[in-house]
Amino acid sequence: MSIAELRRQLNLGKVSAKELVDEHLSRIKKVDTKLNAFLEITAEKALADAIRVDEARAAGCVLPPLAGIPIAIKDNLCTKGVTTTCSSRMLEHFVPPYESTVTERLWQSGAILIGKTNLDEFAMGSSTETSAFGSTLNPWDTSRVPGGSSGGSAAAVAAGECIAALGSDTGGSIRQPASFCGVVGLKPTYGRVSRWGLVAFASSLDQVGPFATSVADAAEILQVIAGSDSRDATSLKVPVPNYLASFDKPLSGLRVGLIKECFEQKGLSAQVKKSVLDAANLLQSLGVELIEISCPRFNDGIATYYVIAPSEASANLARYDGVKYGYRSDSAEDLSSMTTQTRTEGFGSEVKRRILIGTYALSAGYVDAYYKKAQKVRTLIRRDFESAFKKVDILLTPTAPTTAFSVGSHTADPVSMYLSDLLTIPVNLAGLPAISLPCGFDTSGLPIGVQLIGNVLDEPRLLQIAHQYEQSADVIANQPNGELIP
């Protein structure tokens, strides 16, 4: 049931917020031992908040837009009084004394925290297998990964453990798991949503966004969390439009560009390619014009990202030294060895790998050869997008080269893991908005995602096209085979 319909039923008194919370807590209890989507379930807080919503409705108060809606939060977003671990031993017992801007806005809108979701440690990964607290599994097939780094949020929404969830996207960490789990995942324009209270991975790339089972629900969440924030220097000071207003406007006259480099990728599954091209043809039948577009530096995105992102991670994670907060090793005899031991014991192997890469790229003698050169290529990638948007309104690609891969299949080969974000990374480098939504299933019954990319702050048009495709395709309802975890 959509957020809009739940809101209508709550206002009419046909369902209570407590009933909604009870239903989702029951679902979590039933399936999460199989999935490990949640690191913490905030049942007591959720029920207390639900009762307050019901009391307000009974008293005749006008309910805010998300009143009573159970929402899960990726565990790298600070929640006051609720442990925020980033799935790392380094922050295993960290309880923030403040609320992130996005979660604060959700609670002000009446949404209810149902729990904190699992992720790759410090959001570094593409499968939710680097979590210090165990892997999350895919609800469509528990022998498969849910994607990452926001795999817990994607799996929780797909399995019906919450109505919607928040994730963060640094190189595809919302869109790729949305594709693998058959849900909608939206990465807004960089700066459209505040990053204050998001534990930083790569500050020039990170962006918070929603997971939902429909484009309309994702738009409802974005409506609440978007907007400028004086506490975030990168926050854009521009008005927030009504994201639902253009949903039903005709698509005729709009131009959708198919990035040819994306469809020529080595390793792109034939089933994924066919399903995504079928989605493009359906959009054409709805009135859009399809145009082939070239972004010549698109394939340089992954090499560029794996210089810039680790470099920023190296700087951001330097604060975890065992002095101010977080884990501290007790086995050291002096300050220097304490820092060394703390970081050795507190960080997992993937986080250490990226810190080492980033530290090397920023070191004297190499910063020009690697980091500065990567920033120049980033500019060229952005210019390719700018050129493309002079010819088309929206760009279309597969979200990921394949469907969800098997648990453990990429853990021994970091490069193969990194390549799963091949088609999403350039969007982050350019700071653009993009959405992944289901467009079909492979022969194993695993979901396939199509990615739509918009120009800067063009979320309204992006959501309009995505919504009309979703309504016409009705992919999940028409699945040929495959079944969600019962």
Structural domain spans, the chain: 3-253+434-473
Per-residue model confidence (pLDDT) at position 483: 59
Please say if the pLDDT value at position 135 is more than 70: yes
The strand pair at 70-74 and 164-169 is best described as parallel
Per-residue model confidence (pLDDT) at position 115: 98
Which DSSP letter does residue 196 get?
T
Cα gap 459→3, rounded to integer Å: 19
Judge contact between 174 and 217, C-beta under 8 A. Answer: no
Residue 173 is a catalytic residue: yes
For residue 337, is the peptide bond before it cis, meaning its omega torsion is within 30 degrees of 0?
no
Judge contact between 159 and 167, C-beta under 8 A. Answer: no
Q: Does an H or E element contain 277, and which?
A: helix 270-285
Please say if the pLDDT value at position 481 is more than 60: no
Per-residue model confidence (pLDDT) at position 15: 97
Residue 228 is a catalytic residue: no
Q: How confident is the model at residue 335 (pLDDT cuts 50, 70, 90)?
A: confident
Query: What length is written for the chain?
Result: 486
Question: 3-253+434-473: which CATH topology?
Answer: Amidase signature (AS) enzymes (3.90.1300)
Q: Among 323-327, 471-475, 480-484, where is mean pLDDT lowest?
A: 480-484
Please say if the pLDDT value at position 339 is more than 70: yes
Per-residue model confidence (pLDDT) at position 96: 96
Marked catalytic residue, from 18, 74, 116, 187: 74
The residues, ordered by sequence, that sit 6+ positions from 429 with a Cβ below 8 Å of its Cβ are: 205, 301, 304, 305, 308, 378, 381, 382
Cα gap 168→60, rounded to integer Å: 36
Q: How confident is the model at residue 60 (pLDDT cuts 50, 70, 90)?
A: very high
Q: How confident is the model at residue 480 (pLDDT cuts 50, 70, 90)?
A: low
Q: What is the mean pLDDT of residues 347-370?
A: 95
Cα gap 338→88, rounded to integer Å: 18
Please say if the pLDDT value at position 142 is more than 80: yes
Per-residue model confidence (pLDDT) at position 334: 86
Residue 109 is a catalytic residue: no
- Of residues 143 and 334, the one with the higher pLDDT is 143
Marked catalytic residue, from 87, 149, 168, 420: 149
Which DSSP letter does residue 162 get?
S
Q: How confident is the model at residue 77 (pLDDT cuts 50, 70, 90)?
A: very high
Marked catalytic residue, from 173, 235, 311, 314: 173
User: Does residue 447 sit in helix, strand or coil?
Assistant: strand
Q: What is the mean pLDDT of residues 22-31?
A: 98
The model's pLDDT over 263-285, given as tens digits with 9 standing for 90+, comes to 999 899 999 999 999 999 999 99
Q: How confident is the model at residue 324 (pLDDT cuts 50, 70, 90)?
A: confident
Cα gap 183→179, rounded to integer Å: 7
Judge contact between 51 and 61, C-beta under 8 A. Answer: no
